Structure 1
Amino acid sequence: MKKVCWPYFDPDFENLHERIYGPSCKVSIDNESLQDCTLVKVDSVKKQGLLLQVVQDLTDLNLTITKSYISSDAGWFMDVFHVKDEYGRKLADQRLLNYIQQTIGQRTETRGSLTAKACRGHSFISESSSEHTTIEMTATDRPGLFSEISAALADLHCNVVEAHAWSHNARLACIANISDDSTDTPIEDPHRLAVIQEHLTTILRATTATTGTSLDQQHAKTAGIHGGSEGTTTDMERRLHQLLLSARDFDGPPTPSMMPLGLEGGDEGMKPVVLIESCKEKGYSVVSIQCKDRPRLMFDTVCTLTDMQYVIFHASTRSNGDSAFQEYYIRHVDGRTLHTESEKERVVKCLEAAIERRVCQGVRLQLCAANRAGLLSDITRVLRENGLTVLRADVATQGKKAVNAFYIKDITGNDIDMEFVKSMKKEMGPIDLDVKNERSRPCSPEKSHFSISNLLKSQIERISHNFIPTR
């Protein structure tokens, strides 16, 4: 028998870099230097998408990043984050501190960078699960569209396990995790998936004839089932950013509720100001952002720059009262800076859109109900029949309960009179309903055309027995 010889490979070679330079990622937490916040420091070998991974991990824990410094030199990233908990306090739970240290270190070692998989007018599935089938949708938005999608899924015998929808600049992006309503298992039959996709796409394209929107911008796509932990898992909010970016929501009509910084906008909010300059000495493009501060702001901006294929080499962010200031030193992944005015204009528009997408100025309704097939369809139908349109939706199931949160406005675009909402809450009786007005100032009475007699009556009576209080 012919002898086969293999070259010698030293098993210690894989660890040579770590033995010489130390671990490729080091996470340290300083809870002593500052009285009002905790410092999270990350030192790591530089790779595209690493900053977004760290910001996403901190954001997923409901931590607020009040200040940050990011620097990259000679292939090494050094990040410092000033973080607080959701109540504005420094982190005191040692278990949480240990979790942050271990999680960021492990994930930066194992997770590869994620890039946008959405092209104009098309969407691709980036999330897999052994417990549900995922559908992604993009379309030109119109009043009642989310309700029509919910009704279609109910008619197709699909149970909505989880769903998130964002509406911005006349565009809608929606991701829904569904299962079969009778077996509560993923839908795997190719023929049935094709029927679902075709039916939803028909609904999404219903406004094409009147709006003149291209057909390829109205799209629904279903996911295959690959098993629980296999495949690429993309954060759902990041995927919504990608879908709206692919739908070119940055080219839509301007958001009327935003006012430029420095103007008397009251509680209307502040329109983000994005500037791009050149740093010729170092070969960077400098992106400066000034806008109203809010949770998850840094995630939204870093997510967009990363998915647009820009590398962040240096950055600093800070919050000052209600205002936020961010500065990013970037290059494209191919090493070039932003030279043309058209490229700069596109980056400015995309960042403005990313900042505005999450902001909803309507009334927030949260309803908790016993989970059942068709529940989401019933709730959204009641809202639509009473002249309310959904600007954003977050739907989730917790055991046998379904928690549905909606940001709503009058179908004509006017504000909803809070007196109407309070009356609606009283009329609902046993239904558990939490109401929050996203504007602090009261709405003008003359803007409201609702009356108590128009108050959900028969519809609420039909579905009220399906709701349970949350305690």
Structure 2
Amino acid sequence: MDDEYAKLIRRMNPPRVVIDNDASADATVIQVDSVNKPGILLEVVQVLTDMNLTVRKAYISSDGGWFMDVFNVVDQNGNKIRDKEVIDYIQTRLENGANYAPSLQETVDALPTEEHTSIELTGTDRPGLLSEVCAVLAALQCNVVNAEIWTHNTRAAAVVYVTDDSTGYAITDPNRLSTIRELLCNVLKRNNDVRMPKTTVSSPGVTNRGRRLHQIMLADRDYERVERSGMGRVDDKSSRPHVSMVNIERDYTVITMRSKDRPKLLFDIVCTLTDMGYVVFHGMVSSGRTEAHQEFYIRHIDGRPIRSDAERDRLIQCLEAAIERRASEGLELELCTEDRVGLLSDITRVFRENSLCIRRAEISTIGGKAK
């Protein structure tokens, strides 16, 4: 009965969104007022992230039954949002939920559809791994239409959307799906790996791809620090994010985070807090030219602050990992060309043959073009 009453209250009080270009000299100010509900902060931040907006400042308050957030945002070029169509689109999505997308599809990450088959992979990272995975998919006549690959702390995870090369639609034959899963697992296996690789082949869900990658790597325990032997990297502790927390009496745990600033940083942190069962009641976000500072007042979903040193240490490790997973390292290459079957396999083979390791990759196809 309580759930039905809460739904009625939300229907009677839809979110109110105000987008103002005059309130700040160097950013567009977006204010969201709404009845509070579980996961609402993540929904709002996901919309801003999908639109490739950078949050320079934010003030978060969701204590009690009401949610109020103020975000100072800029576009990819560091400018205010001036396009009225984009402003109207952002307002519509914020008022209707993160998964509602009436138009401007090309501006957001390609959403999974029933025309794609989703492949999720996790295993130990090694030089040439992505090339081997792509070669297997090409040999099995699977065309990669969208994909995102992350590596962190010797672990690798990927979410890949493929179609049948001959039909252009999702792969539905159970025997073929089983073969794909088996061959990809063989590629991911290492004799000395204490953690078994995982491969899932299914119809894609509606979960945001970035959030799904966080969930996969969190489940794979990539936050547990290990020696990075043979990976060509030195684990520089000075470059790690700084995360600390303290309890305020019995009310909240206060988390303070300092790290290099980058796009989608706030989304990555809120994803991890939400998936680990924590709720943000108050918060402040501020980013300078290179460093970002964030402070959140949180409780576990059961209403209590952090209760033990073990819980505190695990949350710190998980937040550090969330900040590091998407961090850019090394040389970035952007390639846009005509799409064709096997293109990704050819590209990744060139990297492997030149002794280059791929740390992160984003692949998309729109209108016959691969990027």
Rg (Cα) greater in structure: 1
- CA distance, structure 2, for counterparts of residue 15 and residue 276 of structure 1: 34
Aligned equivalent of 1:214 = 195
Q: Which runs of 4+ in 1 moved over 3 A?
A: 13-19, 108-111, 254-259
User: Per-residue deviation at 1:14?
Assistant: 11
Once the two structures are superposed, what CA deviation does each residue of 1:426-446 show, in whole Å capped at 9, x if it has no partner?
xxxxxxxxxxxxxxxxxxxxx
Q: Does 1:136 align with 2:90?
A: no
- Which sections of structure 2, spanning at least 5 residues, go unmatched? 102-110, 228-232
User: Per-residue deviation at 1:401?
Assistant: 2.3
**For the Cα contact (< 8 Å) 2:329–2:359, is it kept in 1?**
no
- CA distance, structure 2, for counterparts of residue 109 and residue 138 of structure 1: 26
Q: Does 1:360 align with 2:333?
A: no
How high is the TM-score relative to the length of structure 2? Answer: 0.89
Aligned equivalent of 1:435 = none
User: Per-residue deviation at 1:320?
Assistant: 2.4
Aligned equivalent of 1:302 = 270
Aligned residue runs from structure 1 range 63-462, under 5 A: 63-107=53-97, 129-205=113-189, 207=190, 209=191, 211-215=192-196, 218-224=197-203, 232-253=205-226, 256=234, 258-260=236-238, 270-280=239-249, 283-403=251-371
**For the Cα contact (< 8 Å) 1:25–1:109, is it kept in 2?**
no
Once the two structures are superposed, what CA deviation does each residue of 1:133-176 show, in whole Å capped at 9, x if it has no partner?
01000001111111110011111111111111101100000111
Secondary structure, aligned partner of 1:353: helix
CA-based RMSD of the aligned residues comes to 2.3
Once the two structures are superposed, what CA deviation does each residue of 1:200-255 show, in whole Å capped at 9, x if it has no partner?
111111x1x2x34232xx01010137xxxxxx511111111111111111013377
- CA distance, structure 2, for counterparts of residue 198 and residue 51 of structure 1: 39
Secondary structure, aligned partner of 1:103: helix
- CA distance, structure 2, for counterparts of residue 180 and residue 384 of structure 1: 26
- CA distance, structure 2, for counterparts of residue 303 and residue 238 of structure 1: 6
Secondary structure, aligned partner of 2:203: coil
1:247 alignment partner AA: D
**For the Cα contact (< 8 Å) 2:277–2:301, is it kept in 1?**
yes
Once the two structures are superposed, what CA deviation does each residue of 1:21-64 show, in whole Å capped at 9, x if it has no partner?
x6231111222222211211111111121101111101111111
Q: Specify whether residues 72 and 16 from structure 1 end up closer, same or farther in structure 2 by C-alpha distance, changes over 3 A only.
A: closer
- Which sections of structure 1, spanning at least 5 residues, go unmatched? 1-12, 112-126, 226-231, 261-269, 404-471
Aligned equivalent of 1:37 = 27
How high is the TM-score relative to the length of structure 1? Answer: 0.71
Identity %: 46
- CA distance, structure 2, for counterparts of residue 280 and residue 110 of structure 1: 40
- CA distance, structure 1, for counterparts of residue 183 and residue 75 of structure 2: 44
Q: Which has the higher contact order (CA 8 A, sep 6+)?
A: 2
Secondary structure, aligned partner of 2:80: coil
Secondary structure, aligned partner of 1:388: coil
User: Per-residue deviation at 1:93?
Assistant: 2.1
Secondary structure, aligned partner of 1:396: strand
- CA distance, structure 1, for counterparts of residue 90 and residue 26 of structure 2: 18
**For the Cα contact (< 8 Å) 1:170–1:252, is it kept in 2?**
no
Q: Specify whether residues 63 and 194 from structure 1 end up closer, same or farther in structure 2 by C-alpha distance, changes over 3 A only.
A: same
Which segment is superposed worse, 154-163 or 392-401? 392-401
1:256 alignment partner AA: V
1:142 alignment partner AA: R
- CA distance, structure 2, for counterparts of residue 384 and residue 275 of structure 1: 39
- CA distance, structure 1, for counterparts of residue 315 and residue 7 of structure 2: 40
Q: Does 1:26 align with 2:4?
A: no
- CA distance, structure 1, for counterparts of residue 165 and residue 134 of structure 2: 13
**For the Cα contact (< 8 Å) 1:188–1:224, is it kept in 2?**
no
- CA distance, structure 2, for counterparts of residue 223 and residue 109 of structure 1: 20
Q: Specify whether residues 234 and 17 from structure 1 end up closer, same or farther in structure 2 by C-alpha distance, changes over 3 A only.
A: closer
Secondary structure, aligned partner of 2:334: strand
Q: Specify whether residues 85 and 170 from structure 1 end up closer, same or farther in structure 2 by C-alpha distance, changes over 3 A only.
A: same
- CA distance, structure 2, for counterparts of residue 322 and residue 177 of structure 1: 34
Once the two structures are superposed, what CA deviation does each residue of 1:279-313 show, in whole Å capped at 9, x if it has no partner?
116x1111110111111111111111011111111
- CA distance, structure 2, for counterparts of residue 390 and residue 322 of structure 1: 24
Aligned equivalent of 1:46 = 36
Q: Specify whether residues 16 and 325 from structure 1 end up closer, same or farther in structure 2 by C-alpha distance, changes over 3 A only.
A: closer
Aligned equivalent of 2:108 = none
Secondary structure, aligned partner of 1:295: coil
